Chain A
């Protein structure tokens, strides 16, 4: 870590992440699988014309948000971009509510008025769902500001991609967050492509953990395909921010298997590259293999989880197709209070 402040020594880095308990492995497996199956179903329903507009799938990146959620505590807020379905499911928002928003129905989290990119849950402390690249970074910094102002001991987590990491407002936020020691964790989900532009073609500094160096913000690179590594680094970052030391940057090295959005055929990378990631680094397979190899569960146990997850996803798809569209009077509501 070539950062101004280091909170983790080399020995720790080399020993690998701390093992999960059986319950943690199973919980991570179940949630990542739910996100994977939900997104596959969303992609299928998009293809059928049931979901409109833009639809950005999270397949491949599941370990990032699941590991982060495992380290967050009650009251910690989070905010992200338009690639938001996984974040919501990981926080315990209902698959029915998310899927019905994708189909634009009244039972969706925003009553059908937000869509794939714009959902919120005050109850789960999820602050969206933002469609302008990088905008969630100062917004998330403001959530951290509110935590400090209210002295509530919570940390705000702002997720953004390698593409957003080049936005000017990100650095305006870094500056204020460190200047005012705000409790914020910046999670850069580096999935290697800003839409179709590889990081090497868009970024002069491709080690995103160093993006805070000139502001004195510590950062580290994390294997974002290993949920244990994500959880461990997240806990460290959250603790740093929670104890009043200021913001912290985590570069999650991850990968999206699908295109940027449903209409992206992803011709800017080779099939071999995608297949290699899927074969060698898939976040779900990693947990599955550990569970089986360690004799912690049987194939039948996993099949049972798979079946439970499929039922949740299938029910959400049915709900999202059968739930009515919003009442036409909703056109004129929720504009001002």
Chain B
């Protein structure tokens, strides 16, 4: 039975080409790998190699023919020169792949049930103790490392130095150098190495001294960690935590002050959290370490030393649940991380002015708990978002867009965003202050949306 040779495509977009030259004649013996012809497009010339063995029984398209469509039979290879009957069966199939069915509607547009009321977040009888965010983060890691010996931490200065911001203080002494690992200052390399270790069955915690330096490693965070579960058809996940200080500290200039919340929140395959309180820092970090997914855990240097009440004992805060920090009826303030410091102060001042603000701490940015935000806006009819990051394509932009889609009929005013200014972070003290959001800006935005 003979086999037809078809006009090949040189690229995904090629539809036709010129059959420039035949290098074999009818009657020639052809082996797999022999070049039999040359074809040309406007971009390139390429050789056609035989895949089957036999005798070139027929040339169907003459040399020099222009505009030969891809998949047109150009020659026949048979067992001898008279064997030209392809009979259909042995001809390579040219059936195009079936067309894809219409894409399903994004489940993201369907609001889920709102989060449980936050007053009940911890069981009755829970006792609390005051603790800094720094201590809470350290406790979370220590507890999880005691619980699971595949959990380890690596990063710059995490071991001997006890942490550049002392988050890992004491961990080397308790867990030893095999599980608390100082790295060279090579973010790209050690992040890739940690992702590979997660593929290999471990649960790494990667500490970035700050997320500014993680920009060198973002290829591994996104291409290697976030996309692998999908690219492997669900075979291989990547349980890993990328954590460290994010956003502006104080007077450290443009390259050390960027807020990456919106960047990472855009990536399918990641979970992204940015806690404000010490209790959430602890509960969410424990959840992040136990998550089977890659988690970007955004901290803030200024918050490290702030104290909050933290439940005593083992507790885990679910990723993807916002928290109503303060109930109110006139406006919904939505914030997260360091943005909460402006927000709660503004809410207190607004109360004195007779405006009742409901304050929501998003805590998780991906998945984003829109149900809690929507439920609040259905009550207040107004929303102001607060964050330190840049305004374009910000978390506030996403909230505003989602509210317009999911709560349009309940809005009595435009959604306003209070953000960092659209400039690189300046060094001068007065300019840096101007670049960041202020409590006054939050109050001004609330007055605008409440027409007061």
User: If the complex has contacts A114-B232, A121-B235, are A169 and B224 also in contact, measured as CB distance less than 8 A?
Assistant: no
| CB of B12 within 8 Å of the partner chain | yes
Among A256-280, those with CB < 8 Å from B are: 257, 259, 262-263, 265, 267, 278
**Are B200 and A77 touching (Cβ within 8 A)?**
yes
- Chain B min CB distance to A144 (Å): 8
**Are B104 and A328 touching (Cβ within 8 A)?**
yes
Among A322-337, those with CB < 8 Å from B are: 324-325, 328-329, 331-337
Number of A-B contacts (CB under 8 A): 219
Name A142's contact: one of B46, B95, B199 (CB within 8 Å). B199
Among B1-58, those with CB < 8 Å from A are: 6-12, 32-33, 44-47, 49, 51
Interface 1/0 per residue, B164-192 and A, CB below 8 Å: 00000000000000100001101011111
| CB of A131 within 8 Å of the partner chain | yes
**Are A122 and B197 touching (Cβ within 8 A)?**
no
- Chain A min CB distance to B225 (Å): 10
In this complex, which of B94, B191, B193, B269 has the most chain A Cβ atoms within 10 angstroms of its Cβ?
B193
Residue in chain B with minimal CB distance to A77: B200
CA–CA, A156 to B107, complex, Å? 39
| CB of A247 within 8 Å of the partner chain | no
Q: How many residues of B contact A (CB 8 A)?
A: 69
Name A147's contact: one of B7, B44, B200, B236 (CB within 8 Å). B200
Main secondary structure of the interface of B (DSSP, over half): loop
Q: Which residues of B contact A265 (CB under 8 A)?
A: 10, 44-47
**Are B103 and A48 touching (Cβ within 8 A)?**
no
**Are B202 and A146 touching (Cβ within 8 A)?**
yes
Q: Which residues of B contact A108 (CB under 8 A)?
A: 233
| CB of A49 within 8 Å of the partner chain | yes
User: If the complex has contacts A265-B45, A337-B293, are A150 and B201 also in contact, measured as CB distance less than 8 A?
Assistant: yes
- Chain A min CB distance to B19 (Å): 13
**Are A172 and B9 touching (Cβ within 8 A)?**
no
| CB of A138 within 8 Å of the partner chain | yes
Residue in chain B with minimal CB distance to A37: B32
Name A337's contact: one of B46, B101, B193, B229 (CB within 8 Å). B229
Pairs across A and B, CB under 8 Å, 27 listed: A40-B32, A45-B92, A48-B71, A49-B9, A104-B97, A114-B231, A120-B232, A122-B236, A127-B199, A128-B232, A128-B236, A131-B223, A135-B192, A138-B188, A139-B192, A139-B193, A139-B196, A139-B199, A142-B192, A149-B202, A168-B188, A175-B189, A179-B184, A265-B10, A267-B44, A336-B271, A337-B229
Chain A residues engaging chain B, CB cutoff 8 angstroms? 37, 40-41, 43-50, 52-53, 77, 79, 103-104, 108-114, 118-122, 127-132, 135, 137-147, 149-150, 156, 168-169, 171-173, 175-176, 179, 257, 259, 262-263, 265, 267, 278, 321, 324-325, 328-329, 331-337
Chain B residues engaging chain A, CB cutoff 8 angstroms? 6-12, 32-33, 44-47, 49, 51, 70-71, 92-98, 100-104, 107, 152, 178, 183-184, 186, 188-202, 219-220, 223-224, 228-237, 268-269, 271, 292-293
